[in-house]
């Protein structure tokens, strides 16, 4: 499962996890999950949720719909990922206004406090959003290019100099221009988009911004229902548009110049559905990958696991209407009753990645994660080729067989753990369609097992080569995205040694850092394994690269889990530039800003600027709340 790495239990699902743990001793919990302090309390969160006054209010007014059994009602695990302000806003005239009408203002705070475990005894924390732009800074410049490459357009993630305005020789002159502290945030995971002199980005509390690149003021803001998880897809045209998805699987279309919503739709009624992979835009259609976090409620032994199937939908970009729907698992889950308990199969195979469009062949490529329940089938850990016009499956290539996993496998004697017990190695990185010359192409596909596969798109995904780059693990190998320039494939490797799920890994085999291979042969060109510079007092700091990487002419830019941005030379991997984000920063909105681990999105490059998020306060990684904007010295 990607986007939600399995050691997730730490911050996201503690309510469910503790319920599932039952009467187990503290010693057993610590042995299964890692440090009791890490997983039972979280950073700055209230440990004893059930003693809060909001517990009764939630049980009486909310629990019956948010227990995972009511379609369209997000599961409790979703609610606890929201900010307290978002919960209160939903009860105060938002989507939960009817339920909130019977609650006093103080009771709404208590409900939000219970759900999020944030102390609200002094009310909602004060926040300072971006200052509204005035004068020339408020105007979009249509003459400045829209950078339509990277997630949503071209998954090779190479930004040519005529669009990005940066190449390897410019890196030494980069300096921080401004920083913004996202309010109500412990992570920053929405890939920015650049165009018209603006940076468009989503945030942890659901706010989407169109920032002026020069000053950091906001030309407009928009409030989504929940955390914006996908990247922002900026599409030029007579009416420029931005598209994105949120935590509750809701897809949005906004006017890029005003922020006005044109339409929205929820992509799946399953209580655990979410949008993680960035939609791909082509010829008036959005191709939207749909994933879920059903692996988390599966940790409750009483939960009837599992019913979600990963799918990818073709959506009319103008109207939001569904054109076709492709399910990774073609058959619907069947009800199975064994030993007096109910389960469902087949399930899972979520689609976490931004799909790759092959216009010449009329094909879309995507990949899947693990099955959620036994038996594992032939669709998990697979690469699919799908007809662009009809959604018909053309071929698929499974790289790892027998992979079924959910969070119950981190629990002692939990009946929801599949017989296979993992290994939970997903395809979580977009396939790269690479020209080799002479009319030949290869599809390079990364995997959490630490391998990169070269597939033949003209021979139903025949494996041309496979190269072991990293050690691989539940939090190892290739995570969110590789990049390519020419035939040089940049392969980021995470390879955490302490995955906090009980695995015993050999640190000598770990290869955290940046690597390059030749797309023609799979031959390794160079490796830069990053030393651990975390030091004492940073238990959630790691040297590897989980975030997607971005290529510019002559170099590749990577955000590491230790909070450093590092740029590497294309020819030999020599480090060309680095910047430490894991520290406090002064911000344009006057709030405390601090960077941390970087995961999910990578660098956005455009109009001579480098824009990057920092902070990933989940899954045993370092929290942060920053948007950082760099430009060359004037």
Instruction: Please give the backbone phi and psi of residue 223, each rounded to the nearest 5 degrees, phi first.
Output: -110, 110
Burial pattern 557-573, b for ≥16 Cβ within 10 A else e, equals bbbbbbbbbbbbbbeeb
Q: What is the pLDDT of residue 72?
A: 55
Helices (DSSP H) in 330-467: which residue ranges?
Answer: none
Q: CA-CA distance, 431 to 454, in Å (whole number)?
A: 10
Q: Among the listed ranges 7-21, 59-73, 321-335, 507-521, which one has the minimum average pLDDT value?
A: 7-21
pTM of the model: 0.88
Instruction: Please give the backbone phi and psi of residue 201, each rounded to the nearest 5 degrees, phi first.
Output: -155, 145
Asked if the peptide bond before residue 346 counts as cis, ω within 30 degrees of 0, the response is: yes
pLDDT at 71 over 60: no
Instruction: Report the pLDDT averaged over residues 96-114.
Output: 86
Higher pLDDT, 122 or 608: 608
Q: What is the pLDDT of residue 78?
A: 60
Q: CA-CA distance, 311 to 317, in Å (whole number)?
A: 18
pLDDT at 397 over 90: yes
Q: CA-CA distance, 81 to 498, in Å (whole number)?
A: 24
Q: What is the pLDDT of residue 319?
A: 98
pLDDT at 62 over 90: no
Burial pattern 147-180, b for ≥16 Cβ within 10 A else e, equals bbbbbbbbbbbbbeeebbbbebebbeebeebbbb
The full 3-state SS of 133-153, as one line of letters, equals: CCHHHHCCCCCCCCCCCECCC
pLDDT at 407 over 50: yes
Q: CA-CA distance, 569 to 516, in Å (whole number)?
A: 10
Instruction: Please give the backbone phi and psi of residue 32, each rounded to the nearest 5 degrees, phi first.
Output: -80, -40
For the chain, domains (ranges, CATH) are 6-116 (no CATH), 278-427 (2.40.10.480)
Q: What is the pLDDT of residue 77?
A: 66
Question: In the chain, pLDDT over 70 holds for what percent of residues?
Answer: 90
Beta bridge partners of 389: none
Q: CA-CA distance, 407 to 424, in Å (whole number)?
A: 11
Q: CA-CA distance, 272 to 78, in Å (whole number)?
A: 8
Nearest alpha carbon to residue 450 among 422, 482, 418, 420: 482
pLDDT at 27 over 90: no
Question: In the chain, pLDDT over 90 holds for what percent of residues?
Answer: 71
Q: Where are the beta strands (DSSP E) in 182-217?
A: 193-195, 198-202, 207-212
Q: What is the pLDDT of residue 535?
A: 87
User: Helix or strand or coil: residue 116?
Assistant: helix
The helix (run of H) or strand (run of E) holding residue 105 is helix 105-116
The pLDDT tens digits for 528-542 are 999 999 988 898 899
Angle between helices 54-61 and 105-116 (to 10 degrees): 100
Q: What is the pLDDT of residue 41?
A: 29
Instruction: Report the pLDDT averaged over residues 164-190.
Output: 95
Q: CA-CA distance, 594 to 628, in Å (whole number)?
A: 10
Instruction: Report the pLDDT averaged over residues 272-294.
Output: 97
Higher pLDDT, 368 or 113: 368
Instruction: Report the pLDDT averaged over residues 541-552.
Output: 96
Q: CA-CA distance, 322 to 210, in Å (whole number)?
A: 28
Higher pLDDT, 9 or 478: 478
| Token couple for 270 | 């399953």
Provide the mean pLDDT of the chain: 89
| Token couple for 470 | 């990293």
Tell the burial category of 357 from Cβ atoms under 10 Å away from its Cβ (0-12, 13-18, 19+).
Answer: buried
Nearest alpha carbon to residue 155 among 464, 466, 550: 550
The pLDDT tens digits for 178-235 are 999 999 888 899 999 999 999 999 999 999 999 999 999 999 999 998 899 999 999 9
pLDDT at 65 over 80: no
pLDDT at 4 over 50: no
């Amino acid at each position: 499962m990607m986007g939600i790495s399995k050691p997730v239990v730490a911050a996201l699902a503690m309510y469910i996890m503790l319920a599932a743990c039952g009467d187990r001793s503290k010693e057993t919990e610590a042995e299964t999950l890692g440090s009791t302090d890490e997983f039972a309390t979280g950073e700055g969160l209230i440990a004893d949720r059930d003693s809060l006054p909001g517990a009764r209010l939630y049980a009486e007014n909310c629990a019956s719909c948010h227990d995972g059994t009511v379609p369209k009602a997000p599961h409790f695990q979703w609610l606890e990922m929201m900010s307290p302000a978002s919960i209160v806003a939903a009860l105060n005239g938002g989507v939960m206004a009817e339920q909130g009408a019977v609650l006093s203002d103080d009771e709404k705070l208590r409900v939000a406090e219970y759900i999020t475990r944030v102390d609200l005894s002094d009310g909602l924390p004060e926040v300072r959003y971006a200052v509204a732009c005035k004068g020339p800074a408020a105007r979009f410049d249509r003459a400045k290019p829209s950078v339509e490459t990277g997630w949503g357009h071209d998954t090779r993630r190479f930004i040519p100099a005529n669009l990005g305005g940066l190449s390897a020789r410019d890196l030494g002159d980069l300096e921080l221009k401004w920083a913004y502290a996202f309010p109500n945030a412990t992570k920053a995971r929405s890939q920015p988009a650049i165009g018209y002199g603006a940076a468009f980005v989503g945030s942890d509390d659901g706010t989407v911004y169109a920032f002026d690149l020069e000053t950091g003021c906001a030309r407009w803001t928009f409030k989504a229902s929940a955390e914006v998880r996908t990247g922002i897809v900026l599409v030029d045209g007579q009416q420029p548009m931005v598209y994105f998805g949120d935590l509750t699987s809701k897809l949005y279309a906004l006017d890029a110049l005003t922020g006005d919503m044109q339409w929205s739709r929820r992509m799946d009624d399953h209580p655990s559905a979410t949008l993680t992979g960035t939609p791909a835009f082509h010829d008036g259609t959005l191709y939207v990958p749909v994933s879920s976090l059903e692996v988390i409620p599966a940790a409750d032994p009483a939960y009837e696991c599992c019913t979600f199937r990963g799918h990818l939908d073709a959506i009319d970009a103008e109207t939001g209407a569904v054109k076709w729907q492709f399910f990774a698992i073609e058959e619907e889950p069947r009800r199975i009753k064994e030993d007096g308990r109910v389960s469902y199969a087949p399930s899972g195979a979520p689609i976490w990645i931004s799909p790759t469009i092959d216009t010449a062949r009329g094909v879309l490529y995507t990949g899947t994660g693990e099955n959620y329940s036994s038996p594992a089938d032939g669709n998990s850990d697979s690469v699919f080729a799908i007809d662009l016009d009809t959604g018909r499956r053309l071929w698929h290539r499974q790289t790892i067989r027998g992979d079924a996993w959910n969070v119950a496998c981190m629990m002692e004697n939990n009946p929801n753990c599949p017989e296979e017990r993992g290994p939970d190695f997903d395809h979580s990185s977009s396939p790269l369609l690479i020209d080799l010359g002479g009319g030949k192409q290869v599809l390079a596909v990364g995997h959490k097992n630490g391998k990169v596969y070269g597939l033949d798109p003209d021979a139903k995904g025949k494996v041309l080569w496979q190269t072991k780059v990293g050690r691989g693990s539940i939090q190892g190998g290739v995570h969110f995205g590789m990049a390519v320039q020419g035939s040089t494939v940049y392969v980021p490797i995470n390879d955490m040694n302490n995955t906090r799920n009980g695995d015993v890994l050999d640190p000598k085999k770990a290869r955290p850092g940046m690597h390059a291979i030749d797309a023609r042969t799979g031959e390794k060109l160079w490796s830069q394994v990053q030393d651990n510079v975390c030091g004492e007092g940073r238990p959630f700091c790691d040297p590897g690269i989980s975030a997607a990487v971005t290529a510019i002419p002559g170099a590749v830019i990577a955000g590491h889990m230790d909070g450093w941005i590092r740029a590497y030379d294309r020819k030999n991997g020599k480090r060309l530039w680095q910047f430490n984000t894991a520290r406090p920063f002064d911000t344009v909105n006057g709030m405390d800003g601090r960077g941390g681990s970087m995961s999910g999105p990578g660098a956005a490059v455009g109009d001579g600027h480098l824009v990057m998020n920092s902070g990933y306060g989940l899954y045993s990684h370092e929290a942060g709340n920053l948007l950082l904007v760099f430009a060359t010295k004037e």
